[in-house]
Amino acid sequence: MEKEILKINILTIAASGLMMLIGGIVLYCFKERVSPFLRYFLPLAPLGVASYVFVFNFFKHYNGELPEKFDIVIKEILYSTLISALLFGIFTASLIALIHFFKKIL
């Protein structure tokens, strides 16, 4: 099992890097269209890392295999995405409120 997890870890790192490379090339090719919205693309690298961690933990939880039922995979991805989006929204709103508050008192 340990060799399987190591293999999954290496493949996940390689695939994540490849996907970020492809995404970067696509963004570069459309830089004129993307540049006004650049602030929305800045979280791509941390999201890539978060996806890598999720996939690694997913395979580790299921002993290096995909679950037999595909709906379990979809459910895991949806739960993770919804929880992460909710926490991102709460954290971002809190950070905006704190910065605004501290800016007024400093």
d(CA 20, CA 17): 5
C-alpha closest to that of 55 among 47, 86, 85: 47
**Segments in the chain below pLDDT 70:** 1
- Residue 102's pLDDT is what? 92
- Any residues with CB less than 8 A from the CB of 54 and at least 6 apart, and which? 80
- Residue whose pair of structure tokens reads 């595909």 in the numeric block: 70
pLDDT score recorded for residue 76: 95
pLDDT at 54: 94
